[in-house]
Amino acid sequence: MQYDVIIVGGGPAGSTTGRECAARGLSVLLIDKALFPRDKPCGGAVSIRAAVLLPFDLGPVIERTTHAIRFSTCRKPRLTQSAQDPLIHFTQRRYLDHFLLEQAKKSGVTVREGIKIEQLDLKSSGQKTHVIVRAGHETFRGKTVVAADGATGVTARLAGIPTPRWRGVALEGNLKPKGGFPQQWEDCFGLDTGDIPGGYGWIFPKKDHLNIGVGGLSLGMGRLKNKLDILMRAEGWRLADLVDLKGFSLPIRQPCSPLANGRVLLVGDAAGLVDPYSGEGIYNAIRSGQIAAKHLSNFISGEEVNLAGYQREMAETVLAEMDMSLQLFMLIHLLPLKIAERLHHDEARWPLICKILRGEGEYSDLKQGPPFVWPVLDFLLRPAAFPFVSKMLRVLNR
Ligand SMILES: Cc1cc2nc3c(=O)[nH]c(=O)nc-3n(C[C@H](O)[C@H](O)[C@H](O)COP(=O)(O)OP(=O)(O)OC[C@H]3O[C@@H](n4cnc5c(N)ncnc54)[C@H](O)[C@@H]3O)c2cc1C
Mean pLDDT by 10 residues, the chain (398 residues): 97 98 98 97 97 98 97 89 97 98 98 97 77 94 97 96 92 93 96 89 97 88 91 94 94 93 96 95 98 98 96 96 90 80 79 94 82 78 80 68
Give the Cα separation of 103 and 123 in Å (integer). Answer: 32
Whose CA is closest to 362, among 278, 255, 289, 269?
278
What is the spatial distance between Cα 355 and Cα 349, in angstroms, rounded to a whole number? 10
Q: Give the contacts of 347 (CB within 8 A, at least 6 positions apart).
A: none
Task: Identify the pLDDT of residue 127.
Answer: 66
Strand pairing class (28-32; 110-113): parallel
Contact between 318 and 268 under an 8 Å Cβ cutoff? The reply is no
Instruction: Give pLDDT, residue 398.
Output: 53
Contact 59, 35 (CB under 8 A): no
pLDDT value of residue 387? 81
Question: 57 pairs with which residues across the strands?
Answer: none
Q: Are 274 and 268 within 8 A, CB to CB?
A: no
Smallest CA separation from ligand 1 atom 51, residue: 42
Angle between helices 386-396 and 318-334 (to 10 degrees): 40
pLDDT of residue 373: 77
| Cα–Cα distance for residue pair 78/233, rounded to 1 Å | 17
3-state secondary structure of 10: coil
Q: Which residues line ligand 1 (CB under 6 A)?
A: 8-14, 31-34, 40-45, 116-117, 148-150, 153-154, 170, 172, 213, 215, 248, 250, 268-270, 274, 280-283, 285
pTM: 0.96
Angle at 166 between CA 163 and CA 169, to 5 degrees: 115
The SS3 of residue 248 is: strand
74 and 195 Cβ atoms separated by less than 8 Å: yes
Given a contact cutoff of 8 angstroms between Cβ atoms, the answer to whether 373 and 100 are in contact is no
Q: Please, what is the angle between helix 282-301 and helix 318-334, to 10°? A: 160
The pLDDT of residue 64: 98
CA distances from 15 to 37, 46, 125, 157, 359 (A): 13, 16, 31, 21, 21
Q: Residue 374: what pLDDT?
A: 80
| C-alpha 284 to ligand 1 mean position (Å) | 11
Spell out the alpha helix ranges (H) of the chain.
12-23, 48-51, 93-106, 155-158, 221-234, 282-301, 308-316, 318-334, 337-344, 350-357, 373-380, 386-396
CA of 118, closest atom in ligand 1: 41
Rounded to the nearest angstrom, the distance between the alpha carbon of 17 and the centre of ligand 1 is 14
Strand partners, 98: none
CA 93 to centroid of ligand 1, rounded, Å:
9
Closest atom of ligand 1 to CA, residue 47: 11
- Report the nearest-CA residue for atom 10 of ligand 1: 280
CB distance 47 to 359 below 8 Å: yes
Task: Please check whether residue 112 is in contact with residue 139, taking contact to mean a CB–CB distance below 8 angstroms.
Answer: no
Q: Are 199 and 216 in contact (CB under 8 A)?
A: yes
Of the candidates 199, 227, 213, the residue with the CA atom closest to the CA atom of residue 333: 199
Closest to 40 (Cα-Cα) out of 60, 6, 12: 12
Distance between CA atoms of 13 and 283, rounded to whole angstroms?
9
Q: What DSSP element (H or E) covers 78?
A: strand 76-82
Antiparallel, parallel or unpaired: β 2-8 and 28-32: parallel
**Cβ proximity of 265 and 144 under 8 Å:** yes
Q: What is the pLDDT of residue 396?
A: 66
Predicted pLDDT of residue 140: 97
> Whose C-alpha lies nearest to ligand 1, atom 30?
150
Can the peptide bond before residue 37 be classed as cis, meaning omega within 30 degrees of 0?
yes
Q: What percent of the chain is helix, strand and coil (3-state, nearest 5)?
A: 35, 30, 35
CATH architecture entry for 63-90+166-251: 2-Layer Sandwich (3.30)
- Whether the CB-CB separation of 174 and 242 falls below 8 Å is answered with yes
Q: What is the CATH number of domain 2-45+92-165+253-321?
A: 3.50.50.60
pLDDT at position 364 is 85
Domain residue limits, the chain: 2-45+92-165+253-321, 63-90+166-251, 323-396
